[in-house]
Amino acid sequence: MRAKHVNPSAPVKQPDHSIGSIRATATYELVVEQLRKAIFLGRFMPGDKLPPERDLATQMLVSRTTIREAIRVLEGEGLLAVKRGAAGGLIVLGQNRLNNAEIEAYMETQRGLLDSLFEYRLANECAAASLAAVRRDKKHLARLRSALTEMDALCANKESRANISNIARFFACDSEFHLAIAEASMNHFLFEAVEQSRAAMFLPVGKVFNRLEDRANDHHQGIYAAIESQNSELAAQRMKMHIEATRVSLYNLMPKPAKSKK
């Protein structure tokens, strides 16, 4: 076979490895991201107060001016309100209830995001559950049991499942349960992935949800039992079942695709 002739004067084609541009991130944007994540993960419930500006500035090692800029953004997003006076402070806001048509429209806007998130969760949380079953210790099991016990109480009967404050608390405990599994995996990258996906899954309680499903806590007990018995394969399998069931529940809130006419 003849060798291909190469013209030494021809320009060398560079590999198509693009390097993205850099955008400087303002400090207040980093503060917004941290506070937003804390709210989305349920570390602060509707009606809760955030620490005062002075304390937040000290904890986050930024100026009070930076904190105020971040708070203005979160106020604009409807997540926080600043109340003056002795009983005031930085208050986490609840969300106004949407009607059924508005819920369908809102959920439809989330469809692409949720598709990607559930794929991401299946990849990361099943792996985290498998590793947690092998690596968990008594501290991790205690943390999981605590979240399970509270979730059981919050969805124990019809009345408690319809209580808006209970719904918000249940979702916070749900995040705690999944993050405890990620922590028990003892894999820093998996923990960050699970935390990221949990925050991105945030759907405003009160705006979309007006009750918990009757079987909202069913899969958690099975996942816990598999991790406690150190059955890594079963833990991953049950986590997969749980995530897929959650996907079905959320997708039921979306409008059904119109049937094509023949």
The CATH number assigned to the domain holding 143 equals 1.20.120.530
pLDDT value at position 206? 58
Among 42, 70, 92, identify where a domain stops. 92
- Given a cut of 60, whether residue 8 has pLDDT beyond it is no
86 is in which domain, residue-wise? 27-92
Same domain, 154 and 233: yes
- Top-confidence residue, 95 or 12: 95
* Residues in a beta bridge with 205: 209
Same domain, 144 and 191: yes
Q: What region does 224 belong to: left with phi over 0, alpha with psi -120 to 50, or beta?
A: alpha
For residue 167, the Cα-to-chain-centroid distance in whole angstroms is 15
Same domain, 134 and 192: yes
- Top-confidence residue, 96 or 159: 159
- Top-confidence residue, 250 or 32: 32
For residue 146, the Cα-to-chain-centroid distance in whole angstroms is 20
pLDDT digits (tens, 9 = 90+) for 125-181: 999 999 999 999 999 999 999 999 999 999 888 888 888 788 889 989 999 999 999
pLDDT value at position 259? 53
Tell me the C-alpha distance between 240 and 223, whole Å: 10
Supply the DSSP symbol for 80: E
Same domain, 138 and 33: no
Among 92, 117, 145, identify where a domain stops. 92
* Residues in a beta bridge with 29: none
Same domain, 165 and 123: yes
Same domain, 113 and 82: no
**3-class secondary structure, 89:** strand
With a pLDDT cut of 70, the percent of the chain lying above it is 87
pLDDT band at 223 (very low <50, low <70, confident <90, very high): very high
- Give the count of domains, the chain: 2
The upper half-sphere exposure of residue 220, i.e. CA atoms within 13 Å in the direction of its Cβ, equals: 25
Same domain, 59 and 110: no
pLDDT value at position 261? 47
For the residues 216-231, what does the mean pLDDT come to?
94
- Given a cut of 90, whether residue 15 has pLDDT beyond it is no
- Residues 62, 67, 68, 72: is their CA dihedral positive or negative? positive
- Given a cut of 70, whether residue 5 has pLDDT beyond it is no
| Segment 150-157 long-range contacts (CB within 8 Å, at least 24 positions apart) | 151/177, 151/216, 151/217, 151/220, 152/217, 154/212, 155/212, 155/214, 155/216, 155/217
pLDDT digits (tens, 9 = 90+) for 226-237: 999 999 999 999
- Top-confidence residue, 18 or 61: 61
Among 48, 72, 92, identify where a domain stops. 92
Same domain, 177 and 53: no
